[in-house]
Amino acid sequence: MSAALELRNLRYRYGDGTEALRGISFSVAEGECVGLIGPNGAGKSTLLLHLNGILPERLDGAPAVFVFGEPLTEAVLDKMRRAVGVLFQDPDDQLFCPTVFEDVAFGPRQFGLSEAGVAARVSAALKRAGLEHFEKRSPIHLSHGEKRRVCLAGVLACEPRVLALDEPTSDLDPRGRRELKELLRQLPVTKIIATHDLELVVELCSRAIVLDRGEVVAQGPSASLLADEPLMLAHGLEMPHILRHHHPHGG
Ligand code: ADP
């Protein structure tokens, strides 16, 4: 069976010459939840923006991203954007409508659904994101955590098979973080989560991939990878607290 996601030697250079991705290859199996970790500037956000063709700006090179075995090319871009939902790091980049309803409806409206079909998708997604009764609110007047959940509802309303999340728990208070974690745990789709929240990785992701300077420097089961203190420190990370209770080397 083909992987839900496969990257084959993905490279990307920004217009100013910054080499953000220097040949990334890995795959994610269907249903898997993978953590993408690494210091600031490692290339995590840039990588996620490639998963549904937001980057590169032109898709005329050799395909480097494969979704359920199919190469991501210009011809299948619409289909790929339905299959892979990307939650941006900054909610303000994703919210642009006067009401929460309109924002969450934006994606499903591109699919040619009836108005009733769109409304059903919106209310199911809002419910899932814990935002019932938020339909008429204005996104700009919500708290940061609520905005993030509206963005997530917008992604979920498209019913993607793969979810790519960029720092989903940053700026959330402990309750918001706990609720989001539960929500993600219950979503039965393939997930790739870029985050500095290493406890979230340990708790939700069976596998983690460490990125540094645009390259994959390590990957493996989250618990053992993140317990490798020298590896963590070498890449600007820290062994998460919850792993400190185990003493793998008997110390
Ligand atoms: P991360 O998400 O791991 O913090 P990014 O993907 O944001 O890393 O950044 C990877 C590299 O690309 C960094 O060196 C960063 O400075 C650079 N970069 C990110 N966005 C841009 C941009 N729009 N223009 C130029 N360089 C960028």
Q: Are strands 33-37 and 190-194 parallel, antiparallel or unpaired?
A: parallel
Distance in angstroms (rounded) separating the CA atoms of residues 161 and 167: 19
Pocket test for ligand 1, best of 11, 18, 55, 57 (most atoms within 8 A of CB): 18
Q: Whose CA is nearest to atom 15 of ligand 1?
A: 41
Q: Are strands 33-37 and 65-67 parallel, antiparallel or unpaired?
A: unpaired
Please give the distance, rounded to the nearest whole angstrom, from the Cα atom of residue 41 to the centre of ligand 1: 5
Distance of CA 177 to the CA centre of its chain: 15
Radius of gyration for the chain, computed over Cα atoms and rounded to the nearest angstrom: 18
Pocket of ligand 1 contains residue 42 by CB under 6 Å? yes
Q: Which CATH number is 54-195 given?
A: 3.40.50.300
Distance in angstroms (rounded) separating the CA atoms of residues 39 and 234: 10
Pocket of ligand 1 contains residue 94 by CB under 6 Å? no
Are 170 and 89 in contact by the 8 Å Cβ rule? The answer is yes
| 251 residues of the chain, pLDDT tens digit each | 789 999 999 999 999 999 999 999 999 999 999 999 999 999 999 999 999 999 998 888 899 999 999 999 999 999 999 999 999 989 988 899 999 999 999 999 998 899 999 999 999 999 999 999 999 999 999 988 899 999 999 999 999 999 999 999 987 889 889 989 999 999 999 999 999 999 999 999 999 999 999 999 999 999 999 999 999 999 999 888 888 865 555 44
Residue in the block written with tokens 């985050």: 195
Q: Ligand 1, residue 18: give the atom nearest the CA.
A: 26
Please give the distance, rounded to the nearest whole angstrom, from the Cα atom of residue 246 to the centre of ligand 1: 35
Distance in angstroms (rounded) separating the CA atoms of residues 226 and 25: 20
The neighbouring-strand residues paired with 165 are 87, 193
* CATH 3.40.50.300 residue spans of the chain: 54-195
